Amino acid sequence: MANWKRRLLVGTLALLASASWAQAKTVCYVTAADAHAYATPANEALEARAKELGIEMITLSQNFDVQTGTEQLGTCIARSVDGIILWPLDPQAYIPGLARAQQAGIPAILINSPMDSQANQFIKSFTGPDVYEEGEMAADSLNGALGGEGSVIIIAGQAGNGTTIGRVGGFVDRLAEIGSKVEVLDTVNADFDQQKALVVSRDLITRFGDKIDGVYANDDTMARGFIDAWKEANPGKPTPPIVGINGQKDAFASIKSGEMHSTIVQSPVEDGRLAIETIAEILDGKEVEARRPIPLTVVTSENVDSVEPAF
Amino acid sequence: MNLGATIVRFRVAVILGLTLLCASLLVPGFLGATTLSLGLDRGATVGLIAIGMTVLLIARQIDLSVGSTFALAGIVAVMLQPSLGIWPAAMAGLIAGAAAGAINGLLVVTFKVNPLVATLATMLIFRSAAHWLTDSQPVPGTDIMLSVSLSKIHLGIFTLRSALFIGAVLLLHVWLTRTVAGRNLFAVGSNAEAAKASGISPGRTVFLGFIFAGLFAGLAGVLQSLTTNTGSPVFGSELLVAVIAAVVVGGTRIEGGRGSALGTLGGVLTIASLTTAMEFQSVPAYVQQVVAGCILILLVVLDRTVRPGPRSHAATGGTH
Amino acid sequence: MTDASAALSEETGSTRFRKDGRWAALLSRAGLSIAILAVIAYGSAVSPVFFTTGNLVNVMTSMAIIGIVVVGMTFVLVVGGLADLSVPATIACGAILSLALQPMIGPVPAFVAAIGLAGLCGLVSGVLVGYVGINPIIATLGIGTIVLGIVQASVGGVIVYGTNPETAMLVKSRLFGIPTIVLIFLAVALAGNFLLARSWWGRWTFATGGNPKAAEAAAVPVRAVKAGAFVITGLCSGLSGALLGLTLQSARPLVGTGYEFSAITAVVVGGVSIMGGAGSVPRAVAGLVFVQLLTNVMVLQGVRTPVQGLVLGLLIAGAVALDVALRRRGGA
Instruction: Tell whether A52 and A152 lie within a shared domain.
Output: no
**What pLDDT score was predicted for residue B285?**
83
Q: What is the widest separation between alpha-carbon atoms in chain B? A: 70
Do A216 and A137 have their domain in common? Answer: yes
Chain B adjacent subunits, 3+ CB pairs under 8 A = A, C
What local confidence, expressed as pLDDT, does residue A308 receive? 83
Asked if residue A14 is part of any domain, the answer here is no
pLDDT digit string, tens, across residues B273-307:
888 888 878 788 888 889 989 989 988 888 877 65
- Contact B315/C312, CB-based, under 8 Å? no
- CA-nearest of C228, C252, C243 to C112 is C243
Domains along the sequence of chain C with CATH: 35-330 (1.10.3470)
Residue B67 in any domain: the answer is yes
What pLDDT sits at residue B11? 79
**Bigger pLDDT: B196 or B219?**
B219
In a domain, B261, yes or no: yes
- Measured CA to CA, the distance from residue C269 to residue B94 in angstroms comes to 32
Lowest mean pLDDT among A152-156, B30-34, C96-100: B30-34
A95: closest CA of chain B, how far (Å): 7
Using CA atoms, how far residue B47 sits from B139, B163, B220, B262, in Å, is 25, 11, 9, 11
Tell me, yes or no, whether A238 lies in a domain.
Answer: yes
Residue A304 domain flag: no
Do A233 and C54 lie within an 8 Å CB cutoff?
yes
pLDDT for the residue A128: 87
- Quote the number of domains for chain B: 1
Rounded Cα–Cα distance for residues C40 and C51 (Å): 8
Q: Clarify whether residues A206 and A229 are in a common domain.
A: yes
Distance CA C32, CA B258 (A): 39
Average pLDDT of the residues in C84-89: 95
- A64 shares a domain with A123: yes
User: Is A37 touching B (CB cutoff 8 A)?
Assistant: no
Q: Are residues A142 and A195 in the same domain?
A: yes
In a domain, A7, yes or no: no
Q: Please tell me the predicted confidence (pLDDT) of residue C169.
A: 83
- Quick check: is A299 in a domain? no
Whether B238 contacts chain C with CB within 8 A: no
Tell me whether C121 touches chain B (CB under 8 Å). no
A242: in domain: yes
Both A145 and A256 in a single domain? Answer: yes
CATH number, residue A225: 3.40.50.2300
**Residue B29: inside a domain:** no
- Beta bridge mates, A242: A215
Of C121, C250, B216, B75, give the one whose Cα is nearest residue A160: B75
Query: Does one domain contain both A70 and A139?
Result: no
Range of the domain at A222: 132-265
**Chain B residues in contact with C313 (beta carbon < 8 A):** 121-125, 128
pLDDT at position A75: 84
Structural contact between residues A158 and B131, judged by C-beta atoms closer than 8 angstroms: no
Q: Are residues A260 and A272 in the same domain?
A: no
A140 with A236, same domain? yes
A31: pLDDT strictly greater than 60: yes
Look at chain A and report how many structural domains it folds into. Answer: 2
Q: Same structural domain for residues A118 and A155?
A: no
Nearest residue to A37 (alpha-carbon basis) of C241, C155, C164, C259 = C155
Please indicate, yes or no, whether residues A107 and A156 belong to a single structural domain of this protein.
no
Q: Is the pLDDT of residue B93 over 90?
A: yes
In a domain, A1, yes or no: no
Pick among A68, A92, A172 to test the B interface (most B CBs inside 10 A) = A92
Residue C12 has pLDDT above 70, yes or no: no
Residue B27 counted as domain residue: no
Per-residue confidence (pLDDT) for residue B32, from 0 to 100:
76
- What is the extent of the structural domain holding B179? 39-306
Q: Does A161 touch chain B (CB under 8 A)?
A: yes
Confidence of residue C233 (pLDDT cuts 50, 70, 90): very high
- Across the interface, whether the CB atoms of C305 and A159 are under 8 A apart is answered yes
Same-domain check for residues A96 and A201: no
Chain C residues whose beta carbon lies within 8 Å of the beta carbon of residue A189: 305-306
pLDDT tens column, A88-130: 998 889 999 999 899 999 999 999 888 888 889 999 999 988 8
Cβ-Cβ contacts under 8 Å, B128 against chain A: none
Q: Which residue has the higher pLDDT, B101 or C58?
A: B101
B226 contacts B205 by C-beta, under 8 angstroms: no
Q: Say if A63 falls within a structural domain.
A: yes
